Chains A and B, each alone.
Chain A
Amino acid sequence: MDAFTTHTGRAVPLRRSNVDTDQIIPAVWLKQVSRTGFENGLFSAWREDPAFVLNDPVYEGASILVSGPDFGTGSSREHAVWALQQYGFRVVISARFGDIFRNNSTKMGLLPVVLPADVVERIQAAVEADPAAEVTVDLVERQVRLGDLVAEFEIDDYTRWRLMEGLDDIGLTLRHADDIAEYENGRQRWLPTTV
């Protein structure tokens, strides 16, 4: 996973709420066994409409998605994160995320930033007024900065550290393999096995 400290880029305003993962990446894309090639599946149904915001050339090359509330609800498909990243997004900003999606994002280094709805709205309006505006998402300072707008966001220390270091969860857990073995020795005897 690439480390994330600070990212500056242009933003796209997605004025939708309840953006479920079926919209982010429709089920037909989930049949693939590879981890790459999902960029064409990103919002593929919505992108069929020429008026959809991602089809607007002024937003081409944007790397920050600024969405209405309840982003990433529904299915646990991590493919939603892969599609966003492979399309070119490094950050998603919304007032509220689906829990599973938010978890999945932090595993992959796509930064989910929670800001109050009115601040999200201000950023969307600013970007609509000037699509070339540069937005900085600073994980070190926990800030989003755009022009003279400075918004603080919350993120737990551990996730922030892990993202800043670009560390893999599995390696971190296996540092405590002894704890796992000790726990296993104490499990109740009636618990089932699948064999």
Chain B
Amino acid sequence: MGRTLAEKVWEKHVVRRAEGEPDVLYIDLHLIHEVTSPQAFDGLRLSGRTVRRPDLTIATEDHNVPTVLGPIADLVSRTQVETLRKNTAEFGIRLHPMGDAGQGVVHIIGPQFGLTQPGMTVVCGDSHTSTHGAFGALAFGIGTSEVEHVLATQTLPAYRPKTMAIEVAGELPVGVTAKDLILAIIAQIGTGGGQGYIVEYRGEAVRKLSMEGRMTVCNMSIEAGARAGMIAPDETTFEYLRGRPHAPTGTAWDEAVEYWKSLRTDDDAEFDKVVHIDASTLTPFVTWGTNPGQGAPIGSAVPSPEDFADPVQRSAAERALEYMGLAAGTPLRDVEVDTVFVGSCTNGRIEDLRAAADILRGRTVVTRTLIVPGSMQVKKAAEEEGLHEVFKAAGAEWREAGCSMCLGMNPDTLKPGERSASTSNRNFEGRQGKGGRTHLVSPQVAAATAVTGRLTAPADL
């Protein structure tokens, strides 16, 4: 019987397999940032161990960094960043610190350097590591103890998850983006729907996505509870990689592409579960609640708890409506926001910024609007295209690269009661700041929302 993409990549990385034990997987790329690494490096020192493969490790500063020029004001944040600098220097690991042209959000810099390639295993102490699965890599988030394990051994013990196919049939209608697709998928299967699975996104609509669109989709796999999300590599993938700094060249490139073409699910392979989505029925999608699964088409209304048959979901909806300060039945297009955030590892790449600029060009924003490029390279590219002038002319703030308002660890936060439309990936209670209310949206909806001050699709303008 044939094998799925996930199985092929998994099997290729088994260093050791023993009955009754987890497989020991080799890790091809270990991404590091300042938040989940300090205690891991401490652990190495305490046990007298060192980093086995600094040449397969790369670090950046992203979660704590302010997105305006200048030093980190918060002492605790500053200490954490300085700790990463000391640790990477001590153990000989490449670091892109604040101010460096290569600095940026960890899941944006890996692909931008061509370090993320098909068939690789990629890990990071961050749940959105699933992003790299867009290349047909097996990529997942790990905790600090596992970060220490990878540093010390370049391996990770893991049990192979089950496989799930998400077959996306049809074509995404005009105006419906990768972000809307993944939000709709999570609403359909739920925040626990992918738990225990590696998800493979398949179908024509997925094939038609650009690499950045595929990264957006894979990024939010974790929000559906999945261990990892993958998309098989194809010509789109190879073209994206060709010429990038760490992509192979010459005969090595030819060999690599030959191998990468084999990284697809065999026609006679079987998945443990199959979910079907009809792309042609989708519209711009937004969240109304406090988990990424509590979302709905922008043309619909805030649901009523009574709409949920399951008592757990009903009570969760009640709680969510109270926290979010929303009344059931309110059309989502009537929900007013005071803040718009375009950025994050989900939607902080050049295509996302172009999409936002296309909508803001010649218009003015009425909300506080932060546009945060996902990396300094993305920032430079955006400025070469003059996008920053479009944002500033519209009254939006053009920032330095970092995780910014995604998660309330740096100065970009919501105050209690403030409400945002964000292109990030989580709308949990307090995620963007204590008492902050988050609506997850695509860059296009974010930009249109900034113009009107309420949740808006571009077609509404």
Contact = CB atoms under 8 A, between A and B. Distances in A.
Contacts of B192: 69-70, 73, 96
B330 interface: no
A106 to B, nearest CB: 9
B66 interface: no
B253 A77 contact: no
A33 B87 CA distance: 12
A9 interface: no
Interface in A67-122: 68-70, 73-79, 81, 96, 98-100, 103-104, 107-108, 117
Interface in B47-63: 47, 49, 52, 54-58, 63
A129 interface: no
B428 A33 contact: no
Nearest to B140: A100
Given A22-B426, A107-B143, A169-B149, A76 B83 contact: no
Interface in A157-180: 157-158, 169-170, 172-174, 176-177, 179-180
A75 B220 CA distance: 11
A136 interface: no
B312 interface: yes
Interface residues of A, number: 59
Contacts of A193: 55-56, 246
B47 A99 contact: no
A70 B267 CA distance: 34
A18 B351 CA distance: 33
B441 interface: no
Contact of B191 (A18, A78, A158, A172): A18
A137 B434 CA distance: 35
A48 to B, nearest CB: 9
Contact of A158 (B20, B426, B429): B20
B21 interface: yes
B154 A180 contact: yes
A184 B28 CA distance: 10
Contacts of B94: 194-195
Contacts of A177: 153
B145 A107 contact: yes
Nearest to B247: A192
Given A45-B430, A69-B312, A183-B26, A170 B20 contact: no
B429 A31 contact: no
Interface string B312-339: 1101100100000000000000000000
Contact of A70 (B145, B191, B409, B430): B191
A20 B291 contact: yes
Given A22-B426, A103-B143, A169-B145, A27 B252 contact: no
A190 B248 contact: yes
Contacts of B77: 31
Interface string B29-42: 10000011011001
Contacts of B38: 33-34
Given A69-B192, A99-B195, A194-B246, A31 B430 contact: no
B24 A176 contact: yes
A76 B127 contact: yes
Contact of A45 (B117, B222, B312, B434): B434
B64 interface: yes
A176 B153 CA distance: 10
B120 interface: yes
Contacts of A99: 161, 195-196, 225, 227
Contacts of A191: 28, 117, 120
Contacts of B429: 22-23, 45
Contacts of B225: 70, 73, 98-99
Given A20-B428, A191-B28, A192-B117, 8 more contacts: A23-B429, A31-B79, A33-B38, A74-B127, A76-B127, A77-B36, A100-B143, A191-B117
24 contacts: A18-B191, A20-B428, A22-B426, A22-B431, A27-B408, A30-B35, A30-B63, A31-B80, A32-B80, A33-B80, A34-B38, A73-B192, A73-B225, A73-B291, A77-B143, A104-B145, A173-B24, A173-B152, A179-B16, A180-B26, A187-B28, A188-B256, A190-B253, A190-B255
Interface of B: 15-16, 20-22, 24, 26, 28-29, 35-36, 38-39, 42, 47, 49, 52, 54-58, 63-64, 74, 76-77, 79-80, 83, 94, 114-115, 117, 120, 125-127, 140-146, 148-149, 152-155, 157, 159, 161, 191-192, 195-196, 222-223, 225, 227, 246-248, 252-253, 255-256, 259, 291, 312-313, 315-316, 319, 407-409, 426, 428-431, 434
Interface of A: 16-18, 20, 22-23, 26-28, 30-35, 45, 68-70, 73-79, 81, 96, 98-100, 103-104, 107-108, 117, 156-158, 169-170, 172-174, 176-177, 179-180, 183-184, 187-195
- By Cβ-Cβ distance, the 10 closest A-B pairs, closest first, are A78-B143, A104-B143, A190-B248, A107-B145, A33-B38, A192-B246, A76-B141, A190-B252, A76-B127, A78-B144
